[in-house]
Amino acid sequence: MMEGPDIARIAALIGDPARANMLAALMSGRALTASELAREAGVTAQTASSHLAKLHAGGLVGTRKQGRHKYFSLATDEVAHLLENLMGIAAGAGHLRTRTGPKDQALRKARVCYSHLAGDLGTQLYDGLMRQGALHLDGSGMGLSDAGETLMRRFGIDLDALKSRRAPLCRECLDWSERRSHLAGSLGRALLSRFEAVGWARRDAASRAVLFSAEGEARFRETFSLPAR
């Protein structure tokens, strides 16, 4: 009998199409009700409740109550990281949904990967920070250089607060559409929040897309020394 982590159980939980659609919907970073997740999965409310109970028992989603409503979200950043990696593997193997359109194009340009920026602009940001030496990789993982810290503080990121948390400051995440890395970790989360706070971008309420204004994208590229498009 084999010992160790039971990856088959986790794989089976994610492998059901309805549950996979629910988990993908939660990659927006928003907490959703069972009814909202039922619509995303295309199942009845009763079936959705059964699926969510299994996902909760398996440690993939967490719950919280507010008033009469119960909300569901991904349990941890690690779950989101796993899902994005699986999306990258599926895209690389050609397992893509056939329906495309403007929403698909917007998601590929910039989207929320649980709590940080993904898509073309996310990978450009990561590549630019690596190219400038703001990020570095060594035996202990990924970190910010002195130049990177100066850049982030100048942009209004409270690095002291981020460093005081248990979550990793910097982490790379495989982007499913670009199949290259984008920046995750508490810094990735803080940057996306900052882009919204300064008015460069907003989240599309109907999808995971992050919509940059023309001026916002220009300022984004200027601030992080990215090529103009």
Tell which of 43, 75, 107 closes a domain: 75
Q: What is the pLDDT of residue 97?
A: 60
With pLDDT > 70 as the criterion, what percentage of the chain qualifies? 95
101 pLDDT band, cuts 50/70/90, is very low
Residue 91 maps to a domain: no
Residue 159 maps to a domain: yes
Residues 6 or more apart from 187 whose CB is under 8 A from it?
Answer: 144, 152, 157, 159, 162, 169, 170
Residue 81 maps to a domain: no
Residue 88 maps to a domain: no
Question: Do 28 and 103 lie in a common domain?
Answer: no
Q: Residue 196 has which token pair?
A: 């919204």
Number of domains in the chain: 2
Residue 84 maps to a domain: no
Q: What is the pLDDT of residue 160?
A: 95
The residue range of the domain holding 66 is: 7-75
The stretch 135-157 carries a mean pLDDT of 92
Question: Do 203 and 107 lie in a common domain?
Answer: yes
Question: Do 113 and 201 lie in a common domain?
Answer: yes
Residues 6 or more apart from 159 whose CB is under 8 A from it?
Answer: 144, 149, 152, 153, 169, 187
Q: Whole-angstrom Cα distance, residue 133 to residue 121?
A: 18
Is the model's pLDDT at 100 over the cut of 50?
A: no
Residue 82 maps to a domain: no
